[in-house]
Chains A and B, each alone.
Chain A
Amino acid sequence: MFTDTFQRIIRGLWPILVVWLFKFNELNKALVVSGIVGLFVFVAIVAYLQYRNFTFYIDDTNEEFIINKGVLNKTRIAIKLQKIQQVTINQSFIQKLIGVYALDVDTAGTQKKEAVIRAVSHQLAQDLKKRLLEGEKNSESETTTATDQNAPFIKISFSSLVKIGITSNYLRSFALLIAFFGTLYENVQSYMRANEIDGDKFDAYVDQGLAMYSITILILILLGVLLLLNLGRTIIKYFDFKITRQHQSLLLSYGLLNTKNTIIRPEKVQIVSTSRNYLQKKMDTLTLKIRQASGNADQEENDKQAIAIPGCSEAERDRIMALLFHKIPEQGVALVPNIRRLIVGGVLYLFVPLLILFLLYEFTVLPIAEYLIFVPLYITFTGLLLYFGFRNNRLFVTDEFIICRKGVWDIEHQIIEPHKIQAIRTSQLFWHKSADIGSVTLYTAGGKIAFHLGDFSNIKELVNLWLYQVETAPKGWM
């Protein structure tokens, strides 16, 4: 009990401490110290009262989970057991030290977690979770419970994590590298100009060589640091990744410092996406992302909430897919984006910038000439990005799955089932009417999938088919 309270105190005090650290010099020291002590006591009392008033129980007659909390403002939260979407057991670093767990209860309704129970023992957490999730499927037989709980269905090995850690986030690293080269080039340029004034060629050559050498080393170090950071982040976040089968759902648990437990129920899954790049393909490893119904409009927010399973092999991916979809999705008829996509991209990202550059070069006195060496680099880089982005963009449609493939380096497959569609939006610019091309966006409760500039007659036909499927299918979206 004391540990719980103490933990709350630390939590409560944390932001105030930060503020005080900054202001420390400006204030009277004695006042500050007494203030700290007073605040500490105050926070302790409040925390203790909050702790005293925080109770939770399960109301069996109404099938509700009830939480009472608050000191002055009393709050009573009642959640219907069958509305509970997800119960996760997490453990932050501090909680790990004290040996308690946090239990999050989530329903589909709002963005934030409905209820958070901060500090419970492991046994209690497990029991609660089981009890809370049972409420939903009380009709189901309980034969398949305890036995398969212990044996992990899939275990992500340390080496797979290393593979993912090394190979992911290349684009970000690459952009950083480009920026770095830019400044490097500028430095060398100014150095050379300085050289011209300076007569002594030999000294300059040595100096220059030295500078280049040290810069190369610096780049190598930077690259190494980037790789290590990526690797460390991946390993700390996803260490000891275990997937266990429970009833019909998947139980994930992972994390080195903060241990996280999440449940995925196949019927709540909206979008499954796999992502891998060229290197990861060669190493047979990929990242699987699962989006569940969240009630979030915001795509980015959705991305944050998506559950990632890093370092799956293809076989493991197929096993997870088989469990989630009851069969392995296959790519059917492919829809190809119109060539205009490539042309418009070229005009926007190649022609227009180059035209502006040319105009600036011709009509202003800006020192553009010395940067002209970047132009071919830019053209190849952007050209490649555009080309691969275009080539990889496909929409595969079968009767049971819609798969959208996209990406330049990291190629992503987003997979949805037609009956998860909430709404369909088609869009066509008026100058695309005669060319018969247009876009379609499929909205699901876990995010949207968009395919732009495809053959519009084809798209319309597909939309009719999907509408038919949604409107006649007996399957609900959740």
Chain B
Amino acid sequence: MESFTNTSIDTRELPRFEAVDFEPLQADYKKVIFFNTAVFALILIGILAAFLLINPDLVLGTVLLIGILAIVIVIIITLVIGLVSFRKKGFAFRQHDVLYKSGVIATTITVIPYNRVQHVALHEGPVSRKLELATIEIFTAGGSGSDIRIAGLRREQADRIKQLIMAKLIEEIPSVASENNEVPPVNPTEDEL
């Protein structure tokens, strides 16, 4: 049980996850946010138009004014929140785990160690594809609450991240296999890195 004596080290000397430099998302991703907001705005305008068509007597009343005002306010709020949360998002890949930071009101940091990753998925939306952006999703067995979803990555970067995690996953397998044979191993990843 050599590995157990390791845990009695001073916790202050451990690498600190909170001190990590988070990498921001690609600036191009803002365009995706603008696009999504525009679609949202169009939907709202459509609803207003439909409403006015159904009630033609109200067309030139205050209803139109209030409706437009409400839409403008909602869109501005959506846009501001979208941009602020874009600024707040960040990710970092460490030797042994991946970190993702997000949240406007509450700053949330999610950490997934590589040896707990179940699988990785790569998504590309229609707009993102034009901008050569991609979203990467990292799943664990801990349920949807614990998954990390990083949007707004360069596609090559996302690909590389996927390769990296896959490589880490394969790397971890020996340590898992040796556990079944009940041989207390020295963690292989530690020596290599």
Q: Is B56 an interface residue (CB 8 A)?
A: no
| Interface contact B17-A399, CB-CB below 8 Å | no
Q: Is B135 an interface residue (CB 8 A)?
A: no
Of B33-41, B58-66, B70-78, B99-107, the one touching chain A: B99-107
Chain A nearest CB from B143 CB (Å) reads: 4
Q: Which residue of A lies closest to B95 (CB)?
A: A471
| Interface contact B103-A467, CB-CB below 8 Å | no
**Given that A473-B3, A474-B178, A474-B185 are known contacts, is A422 also in contact with B116, CB under 8 Å in the complex?**
yes
Interface string of A437-475 (1 = CB under 8 A from B): 000010111011000000000001111110111111111
- The docked-state distance in angstroms from the alpha carbon of A421 to that of B146 is 10
Q: Which residue of A lies closest to B12 (CB)?
A: A461
| Interface contact A297-B145, CB-CB below 8 Å | yes
Choose from A296, A297, A399, A467 the contact partner of B96 (Cβ within 8 Å). A467
| Interface contact B106-A444, CB-CB below 8 Å | no
| Interface contact A423-B115, CB-CB below 8 Å | no
| Interface contact A443-B105, CB-CB below 8 Å | no
Q: Is B192 an interface residue (CB 8 A)?
A: no
- The docked-state distance in angstroms from the alpha carbon of A441 to that of B176 is 25
- The docked-state distance in angstroms from the alpha carbon of A422 to that of B141 is 7
Choose from B11, B97, B179 the contact partner of A465 (Cβ within 8 Å). B11
B113: A residues at CB distance < 8 A: 423, 467, 470-471
B12: A residues at CB distance < 8 A: 461
Closest 6 CB pairs of A and B: A443-B142, A422-B142, A297-B143, A443-B146, A423-B146, A471-B96
A421: B residues at CB distance < 8 A: 116, 142
Given contacts A422-B141, A472-B190, A474-B3, 9 further A-B pairs with CB under 8 A are A422-B146, A423-B146, A424-B111, A425-B146, A426-B108, A427-B109, A430-B106, A468-B15, A470-B115
| Interface contact A423-B106, CB-CB below 8 Å | no
| Interface contact B140-A443, CB-CB below 8 Å | yes
- The docked-state distance in angstroms from the alpha carbon of A463 to that of B144 is 20
Chain B nearest CB from A426 CB (Å) reads: 5
Q: Is B163 an interface residue (CB 8 A)?
A: no
B55: A residues at CB distance < 8 A: none
Chain B nearest CB from A254 CB (Å) reads: 28
Choose from B108, B114, B143 the contact partner of A298 (Cβ within 8 Å). B143
Q: Is A477 an interface residue (CB 8 A)?
A: yes
- The docked-state distance in angstroms from the alpha carbon of A253 to that of B103 is 47
Q: Which residue of B lies closest to A448 (CB)?
A: B145
| Interface contact A426-B6, CB-CB below 8 Å | no
**Of A426, A428, A430, A462, most B-chain CB atoms within 10 Å:** A426
Q: Which residue of A lies closest to B101 (CB)?
A: A426
Q: Which residues of chain B (98-132) have a CB below 8 Å from chain A?
A: 103, 105-116
| Interface contact A465-B6, CB-CB below 8 Å | no
Report which B residues bind A (CB closer than 8 A).
3-4, 6-8, 11-12, 14-18, 96-97, 103, 105-116, 140-148, 175-176, 178-179, 184-185, 187, 189-190
Chain B nearest CB from A347 CB (Å) reads: 18
B110: A residues at CB distance < 8 A: 423-425
B18: A residues at CB distance < 8 A: 460
Q: How many residue pairs at the A-B interface have CB separations less than 8 Å?
A: 124
Choose from B15, B96, B103 the contact partner of A427 (Cβ within 8 Å). B103
Enumerate 28 A-B pairs (CB-CB under 8 Å) in ascending A order. A108-B141, A293-B141, A295-B143, A297-B145, A399-B7, A422-B116, A422-B140, A422-B141, A423-B111, A423-B112, A425-B109, A425-B111, A427-B103, A428-B108, A430-B105, A441-B145, A445-B143, A447-B143, A448-B142, A448-B146, A460-B18, A462-B11, A465-B7, A467-B97, A467-B111, A472-B187, A473-B187, A474-B185
- The docked-state distance in angstroms from the alpha carbon of A478 to that of B176 is 10
A476: B residues at CB distance < 8 A: 176, 179
| Interface contact B7-A469, CB-CB below 8 Å | yes
By size class, the interface of chain A is 35 or more
Q: Which residue of A lies closest to B6 (CB)?
A: A472
- The docked-state distance in angstroms from the alpha carbon of A423 to that of B111 is 6
| Interface contact A448-B15, CB-CB below 8 Å | no
| Interface contact B14-A465, CB-CB below 8 Å | yes
A464: B residues at CB distance < 8 A: 11, 14-17
A468: B residues at CB distance < 8 A: 7, 14-15
Q: Is A1 an interface residue (CB 8 A)?
A: no
Interface string of A395-432 (1 = CB under 8 A from B): 00001000000000000000000000111111111100
- The docked-state distance in angstroms from the alpha carbon of A448 to that of B176 is 23
B112: A residues at CB distance < 8 A: 422-423
Chain B nearest CB from A85 CB (Å) reads: 12
B7: A residues at CB distance < 8 A: 399, 465, 468-469
B96: A residues at CB distance < 8 A: 467, 471
Q: Which residue of A lies closest to B183 (CB)?
A: A474
- The docked-state distance in angstroms from the alpha carbon of A351 to that of B148 is 38
Chain B nearest CB from A295 CB (Å) reads: 7
Q: Which residue of A lies closest to B7 (CB)?
A: A399
- The docked-state distance in angstroms from the alpha carbon of A151 to that of B183 is 32
- The docked-state distance in angstroms from the alpha carbon of A367 to that of B12 is 61
- The docked-state distance in angstroms from the alpha carbon of A469 to that of B115 is 12
| Interface contact B142-A423, CB-CB below 8 Å | yes
B140: A residues at CB distance < 8 A: 422-423, 443
Choose from A298, A427, A447, A477 the contact partner of B106 (Cβ within 8 Å). A427
Interface string of A67-91 (1 = CB under 8 A from B): 0000000000000000000000000
| Interface contact B141-A471, CB-CB below 8 Å | no
- The docked-state distance in angstroms from the alpha carbon of A474 to that of B6 is 12
A296: B residues at CB distance < 8 A: 143
| Interface contact B107-A430, CB-CB below 8 Å | yes
A469: B residues at CB distance < 8 A: 7
| Interface contact B141-A427, CB-CB below 8 Å | no
B11: A residues at CB distance < 8 A: 461-462, 464-465
**Of A423, A447, A460, A477, most B-chain CB atoms within 10 Å:** A423
